[in-house]
Amino acid sequence: MQRMNRWGVLALFMTLAGLPAMARADVPAGYRLAQTLVTQEGSSLQVLEDQRISAQLHKDSWGSGLDEDSFDEPGDLVENPLREAQVRLVSASGAVIAHKDLGYPLAKVKKAALNGQPEPVYFLTIDQTAPMGSYSGPATQLLLPAKRQLEPVGYQDADGKFKPLILASTGKAAWKVSTPAGGGADELLQVSSFMDGDGDDDFATRYQTYRWVGGQWHGASTQKAGYWDTESDFPARTAFP
């Protein structure tokens, strides 16, 4: 008999013991299964979206915002607003291990190509783009399904406080994975520009670095006067702490 993974064994034990089994991974009414990504452990990360959002509409709307003009029958959205996307972790045996509502209609997951991590890391990106403005956009968090299921990864800041690690992609913010010149675990670099004063030209730019040290992420940041947006090149590594 093919060996089961731990989630399959758990589901089988609960069934044989007469205990309530975990919910089966049926697609809820009004949703479509937008994405399935099999993890290294054999479980699956699934993204569910409103069934009115086709795969093509998801692609066309990503990063630009969904509004009533995106749909052939916009009047339906008045009485039936778009359902928020969901992410869930499903065992190899088809049981829902964990589930989370995401607050926005569009989302996607992918394997994170991060060197130096003890567990496989996945990026969950939720499209928070508003129809207008340059301060909103996709927001990415890190997941460790084998260890933390769908609980997002956090980091420790310079003051010792723990905060959620969220990477923003907007008209005035961008991030990238960076490999240190001296070797070691990959780092995450985030640049963001924002108003910092009363004048129209009063901007500041923040440079943040997230490093994997001692089994957890640590954050460091520096801020300088000046403006940056995504029409500019990503800053040189020397701009980051």
The encoded tokens of residue 184 equal 């070691």
Q: Alpha-carbon Rg of the chain, whole angstroms?
A: 21
What's the mean per-residue pLDDT of the chain?
89
200 pLDDT tier (thresholds 50, 70, 90): low
Cβ atoms 157, 163 nearer than 8 A: yes
Report whether pLDDT(22) > 60: no
Q: Which residues, in sequence order, are CB contacts of 197 under 8 Å at separation 6+?
A: none
Report whether pLDDT(6) > 60: no
Q: Which residues, in sequence order, are CB contacts of 50 under 8 Å at separation 6+?
A: 30, 31, 32, 82, 83, 85, 105
76 pLDDT tier (thresholds 50, 70, 90): confident
What pLDDT is recorded for position 34? 98
Predicted TM-score of the model (pTM): 0.87
- Which of 63, 49, 57 lies closest to 131, judged by CA? 63
The helix or strand, by DSSP H or E, that contains position 16, with its residue range, turns out to be: helix 6-16
Dist. CA 206–CA 221, nearest whole Å = 7
72 pLDDT tier (thresholds 50, 70, 90): confident
pLDDT tens-digit readout, 91-129: 999 999 999 999 999 999 999 999 999 999 999 999 999
How would DSSP label each residue in 89-142? EE-TTSBEEEEEE-SSS-EEEEE---TT-SS--EEEEEE---SS-SS--EEEEE
